[in-house]
Copies of this chain bind each other. A is one copy, B any other.
């Protein structure tokens, strides 16, 4: 919850021993420190205008729309823009009861594979909250893409690599003509950024100098 910026944890009848221990543990975060306790789910969600339960396909009698996380999170995000919502997780052993589910507007399921639907509670929470803060914009392009090397530098590098191969005897003058294009393509396939192209030019300059002296 804290990783993804969610702060309002509400517990319904938590196991007292474990809860007291967690709260008093060294390094217990703000989320657990500020967690509220309730004796009924009705009270816990009383101020929420959207209540979403988590469930799996394996749940026998679902009387609610069951939405995949990818889509359901979109609806929750829209709602969160102007109001609050509760996301319910059941105990790891029993999940949410039918009584719990009857308080929900609809249900959310994480797209786990049919052969292994049931998830660890902490992991299920992490995945749901990640989807809520996930940015579709961020998925579209690489904001950190480094500047690619310009054609001029790639051509310079191809020439220097050719000289090096000649000086080292890897190719000889007679067959060099047929190799030029191969080396050019090889260099382009390296998909270098501007900085790495500079490094390669420097390395080959030194190698070439050493080969010739």
Contacts and interface: CB of A to CB of B under 8 A. Distances in A.
> Copies per complex?
2
Interface stretch (A18-26, A42-50, A129-137): A129-137
A172 to B, nearest CB: 33
A138 B141 CA distance: 20
Interface string A131-156: 10111101111111110000000000
B111 A134 contact: yes
A122 interface: yes
A40 B65 CA distance: 48
A38 to B, nearest CB: 25
Nearest to A117: B3
B127 A130 contact: yes
Interface in A104-137: 110-113, 116-117, 119-120, 122-127, 130-131, 133-136
Contacts of A73: 139
Contacts of A182: none
A139 to B, nearest CB: 4
Given A111-B135, A122-B120, A135-B111, A65 B146 contact: yes
A143 B109 CA distance: 13
A185 interface: no
Interface residues of A, number: 42
B68 A143 contact: yes
A158 B184 CA distance: 76
Nearest to A146: B65
A200 B203 CA distance: 79
Given A65-B145, A71-B142, A74-B139, 16 more contacts: A2-B116, A3-B112, A3-B116, A3-B117, A4-B113, A29-B116, A65-B144, A66-B144, A68-B143, A70-B134, A71-B139, A71-B141, A111-B133, A123-B123, A123-B126, A130-B130
16 contacts: A3-B112, A4-B112, A65-B142, A68-B138, A70-B136, A73-B139, A110-B130, A111-B138, A120-B122, A122-B123, A124-B126, A126-B126, A127-B130, A130-B131, A131-B134, A136-B139
